[in-house]
Homo-oligomer: A and B are copies of this chain.
Amino acid sequence: MYELLKQNLNRHIKLNEEEFGLFLKRLSVKTYLKDSHLIQSGQTCKYTYFVNKGLLRLYDINKKGYEKNTLFAKEEWWVSDLYSFHSQKPGAYFLQALEDTEVFQLSKPAMENLLLEIPKLERFWRILHINAFIAQQERVMDMIAKTAEERYRDFIEKFPEAELRISQRHIASYLGITPEFLSKMKSGLKH
């Protein structure tokens, strides 16, 4: 059941069985049904989430009232409203399940305790945080510098099963285009 989490931690650090057991004790397992929300905009985000099975989308609502998808978190992703989680102030994002989703959730105090109990985790979360920061900056830069078609290709490369698991509406919102334009663009790509 916890194999995916173990594999994920082992990407950056080596935990022994005892340490991994401690880690498991601090988190809670929860299943969110499709369409339900894990985080609501305007509230303080209590948890950071590891997706064990399923799919989540992080989004906000722009000034014109449109939903804007920021990222999709599938299996082995950590996701949260990082600003709200770390500052413990109200955040701007929503986090919603696009499929029935099993997450391992870790509260801010649980994370702080784990960092004291297992100092190796400092490295893990430092690296994760820097990677999230880099990804966020690159997304902003790509929105400016790349065409929608290039962004679509990049997205499918990173998430090959996206077309099977995510609706056209949500993919379009992630790319910053309309579903109609996405459809037209894709029919153009086939030629």
Q: Using a CB–CB distance below 8 Å, which chain A residues touch chain B?
A: 82-83, 86-87, 92, 115, 119-120, 122-123, 125-126, 129-130, 133-134, 137-138, 141
Instruction: State the number of copies, please.
Output: 2
Closest B residue to A121 using CB positions: B122
Complex CA–CA separation, A92 to B144 (angstroms): 13
For A141, list chain B residues within 8 Å (CB): 92
Nearest 8 A-B pairs (CB), nearest first?
A122-B122, A126-B126, A83-B137, A122-B123, A87-B134, A86-B130, A122-B126, A129-B129
Closest B residue to A123 using CB positions: B122
CB < 8 Å neighbour of A123 from B83, B92, B115, B129: B115
Complex CA–CA separation, A125 to B119 (angstroms): 13
Most buried by B among A86, A129, A137: A137
